[in-house]
Amino acid sequence: MRRVAVTGIGVVSPLGNDAAALFANASAGRSAVRRMDAPWCRRLTCPLGASADFRAGEHFEPAKLRMLDRVSQFALVAARQAIGDARIGSGDLDPQRTGVFIGTSMGGSVSTDEGYRTLYEEQSDRIKPFTILTGMMHAPAAWISIEYAVTGPNLTYSTACSSSTVAIGEAWLRLRSGDLDVAIAGGAEAPLSFGAMKAWEALHTLASEDPADASASCKPFAANRSGMVLGEGAAIVLLEDWERARARGATIYGELTGYGVSADIGHITRPSVDGQAAAMRAALHSAGCAPEAIGAINAHGTGTPINDAVETAAIKRVFGARAHRIPISATKAIHGHLLGASGALELVLCLLSMRHGVLLPTMHLQQPAADCDLDYVANRARHDVFVDSMMSSSFAFGGTHAVLVARAAPTAPAAAFAAAPGALPPPIEEQQFE
């Protein structure tokens, strides 16, 4: 089996539109959750969201833009970043040995929602001619393949909140087996439309607004947690055959070492300890490592009463007594739940955490719940903590639970930040690691 390196990162997120901004804000615990002010938000019970500061016109010509839902815009911009970050030129990709693997839960829901609004609210018999093209689930992956003339597998995974974790994991399998040399993998989501938010609201899974601070409304693992907050964005990683990456002198963010996926068959929305634990164990098994090898976890940690309690129990089930000594970060508290893009974003945060030796805080955790009694890195980042391997978990409605294991690059810059304990790392592009 071949080893798989992560050699490029691209991000559009509520915490910033590049890896450096994302990690700086996540380290500082700055929340992007806001009370949204679009006119349709008045019809929401609790109009909270974590939106990306994204100006599509800066990235696309008008004629192209009309063919791109917001989710595809995010995906394309993140893919461009990842490929640029990996310093791969147009001639460096073997088209047939490169694949695109994208996860999204709701696809082009903004376009779909707009189409229905036109038909039903305006009573128009005409909708925009590209509504099918912008709304289709695999448009983000298709546009990436077209833009980079990649002719290998072009695949979209839609498994709700684990979509991009599955996409990256499935890409990893193909690189590991030698079927591909390079994969552009990750997820994108743009769920902050009236129809999508109303649908989520109807499920009674969204957080109520914190009366003192709207940005603190999502409180994973806290006694007063009330639900999740939707976020938007995309995270794309460039996965590359390890030897190929080394041969070309690529910067390696880390190694993807394991991927596990399970079906939680008990209920369509309520996760089980068995189901979540099965995915974690499968990931450990594929990584060929014992639970003791995992130094920290980025939890699914949605802030819903059920998930956080079940996830805590599942971590205990897998890690035993050592579960209490594993730092667990739930970063959805500040970037929101990006649904199908969450897993990719959180894998990126794991890679950056290991690289910079910073364990990210779980914000808004004043009083842990009685059934959430692990170390959640409450409210403050821990600096100068370099772990060898991290687990990133994504648990989904529908029961497709997926977990990735990533390992720090051998040359992780343990000394790079030791000179300035507590300081935020400099932007990625200013760093010299290899």
Partner 1 sequence: MTTLERLMAILVTHYKLDPTRIARDTPLEHLGIDSLGMVELLFFIEDEFNLQLPSDAPLLPTVADAVRYIDALQAQQPAPSPAGTAAAPPPSRST
Q: What is the DSSP string of 65-95?
A: HTT--HHHHHHHHHHHHHHHHTT--GGG--G
Nearer to partner 1, 133 or 188 (CB): 133
Can you tell me which residue has the tokens 């007063």?
Answer: 224
Catalytic residue among 138, 335, 337, 401: 337
Q: Kindly state whether residue 58 participates in binding partner 1, applying the rule CB under 8 A.
A: no
What is the three-class DSSP state of 105? Answer: coil
Q: Kindly state whether residue 268 participates in binding partner 1, applying the rule CB under 8 A.
A: no
Residue 157 has φ and ψ, to the nearest 5°, of -115, 130
Q: Kindly state whether residue 123 participates in binding partner 1, applying the rule CB under 8 A.
A: no
Q: Kindly state whether residue 130 participates in binding partner 1, applying the rule CB under 8 A.
A: yes
**Of the listed pieces 39-47, 126-134, 161-169, 424-432, which binds partner 1 according to CB under 8 A?**
126-134
Return d(Cα 108, Cα 341) in angstroms, integer. Answer: 13
Instruction: Give least dist CB 62 to partner 1, A.
Output: 6
Using CB under 8 A as the criterion, what x/- string covers residues 132-171 for binding partner 1? -x--------------------------------------
**Of the listed pieces 44-52, 55-63, 264-272, 408-416, which binds partner 1 according to CB under 8 A?**
55-63
Using CB under 8 A as the criterion, what x/- string covers residues 5-44 for binding partner 1? ----------------------------------------
User: How far, rounded to the nearest angstrom, does the alpha carbon of residue 296 sit from its chain's CA centroid?
Assistant: 17
* 205, 227 Cβ separation under 8 angstroms: yes
Q: Does the annotation count 324 as an active-site position?
A: no
Q: Does the annotation count 337 as an active-site position?
A: yes
- Residues whose CB falls within 8 Å of the CB of residue 420, separated by 6 or more in sequence, listed in order: none
Instruction: Give least dist CB 121 to partner 1, A.
Output: 18
- Please pick, from the candidates 61, 121, 429, 430, the single residue that binds partner 1 as defined by CB under 8 A: 61
Q: Does the annotation count 335 as an active-site position?
A: no
- Please pick, from the candidates 1, 43, 65, 66, the single residue that binds partner 1 as defined by CB under 8 A: 66
Q: Kindly state whether residue 62 participates in binding partner 1, applying the rule CB under 8 A.
A: yes
Nearer to partner 1, 2 or 59 (CB): 59
Return d(Cα 21, Cα 81) in angstroms, integer. Answer: 13
Return d(Cα 187, Cα 156) in angstroms, integer. Answer: 9
Q: Kindly state whether residue 63 participates in binding partner 1, applying the rule CB under 8 A.
A: yes
Nearer to partner 1, 134 or 312 (CB): 134
* 389, 408 Cβ separation under 8 angstroms: yes
* 234, 12 Cβ separation under 8 angstroms: yes
Q: What is the DSSP string of 348-406?
A: HHHHHHHHHTEEPPB-S-SSB-TT--S---BSS-EES---SEEEEEE--TTSEEEEEEE
**CA nearest 338: which of 196, 231, 228, 236?**
231
Q: Kindly state whether residue 129 participates in binding partner 1, applying the rule CB under 8 A.
A: yes
**Of the listed pieces 60-68, 175-183, 293-301, 361-369, which binds partner 1 according to CB under 8 A?**
60-68
Nearer to partner 1, 129 or 288 (CB): 129
Which residues lie across from 49 on neighbouring strands?
34
Q: Kindly state whether residue 121 participates in binding partner 1, applying the rule CB under 8 A.
A: no
Ramachandran sector of residue 227 (left: φ over 0; alpha: ψ -120 to 50; beta: rest): left
Contact set with partner 1 (CB under 8 A): 61-63, 66, 126, 128-130, 133
Catalytic residue annotation: 161, 300, 337
